Amino acid sequence: MTASKRREPALAAIALFLDVDGTLLELAATPRAVSVPGDLREGLRGLSLASGGAVALVSGREIRDLDALFAPLTLPSAGLHGFEHRSASGVYHRRPLPSAAALEDARGAISHLARQHAGLLLEDKQFALALHYRDAPHLEEAVMKAMREIAARLTGELELQRGKMVVELRPAGATKAEAVAAFLAEAPFAGRLPIFIGDDLTDEPAFELVNRLDGASVVVNAKRASAARTRFADVTAVRGWLTQLQAEPAAALGQLPAFGHPASACHAPSPAAASGPRLRSRA
């Protein structure tokens, strides 16, 4: 990436990658309890058009779930943390499937665990299985112990992934970093400066990749240490920044370290841009 392109804060120069839950949408008690506001859907459509289609969703959800949430908008998407991928041209592919035996073993064990304890919720993603304990935080230690034991006997098939009040068994080897790299190898993302916005531990590999590429990494509502070089306070801040990005690309992009501002000097938008986010520099 040339220095001149890095200094050019224009939508034609960027590739925007967005996590969904906890980033674009507030976390809810269950994965099915969320909805996409019409203004967010239209804002993403506008950004996609203005950027030449270089806006993608990179999520732990299945692509079919993303399509249902954002319908009728359909964006390039990576689902199940990079296990499945749909390009801007609509070409779909996925990594090799875990064996049916491994999935059934995990499904049975996690279902049994969820039935034993009130407040646990199994989310069956077809090729990945997530156990939510948001309604039973006191069970975190027991949940982690049980899930580690299940993962240990399925080594090479499914691997453990922690998140916010959830632990997941997902296909081994798939990461959001690989998902972003795959997009950056194809049109219209290739040759652009990547921006990745996410909130959870599953987003850290993508932050690290984007940093290596001199892109912009943004973590949302995180009290933990993160590889991300910029922090947004919450989902409202993300949506405000996306609104500003469409209306005033230079002003919005100028707040990110990759576009010329050091991480210690990120600023909130001026009062005239009150709809934008309040930024916090990396801790």
Residues annotated as catalytic are 19
For residues 63 and 236, give the distance between their C-alpha atoms in angstroms, rounded to a whole number: 24
- Cα 281 to Cα 218, 253, 277, 278: the distances in Å are 10, 15, 12, 10
User: Do the beta carbons of residue 168 and residue 143 sit within 8 Å?
Assistant: no
DSSP 82-149: GTEEE-TT--EEEPPPPPHHHHHHHHHHHHHHHHHSTT-EEEE-SS-EEEE-TT-GGGHHHHHHHHHH
Which of 209, 208, 235 lies closest to 222, judged by CA?
235
Structure tokens at 54: 């270089």
Strand order in the sheet with 129-132: 121-124, 129-132, 166-171, 158-163
Q: What residues form DSSP beta bridges with 194? A: 15
Phi/psi for 56 (5° steps) reads: -135, 150
- Residues paired with residue 124 on neighbouring β-strands, in sequence order: 129
CA separation for the pair 203, 230 (Å, rounded): 14
SS3 51: coil
Question: Which residue has 């030449």 as its token pair?
Answer: 52
**Residue 280 near residue 40 (C-beta atoms within 8 A):** no
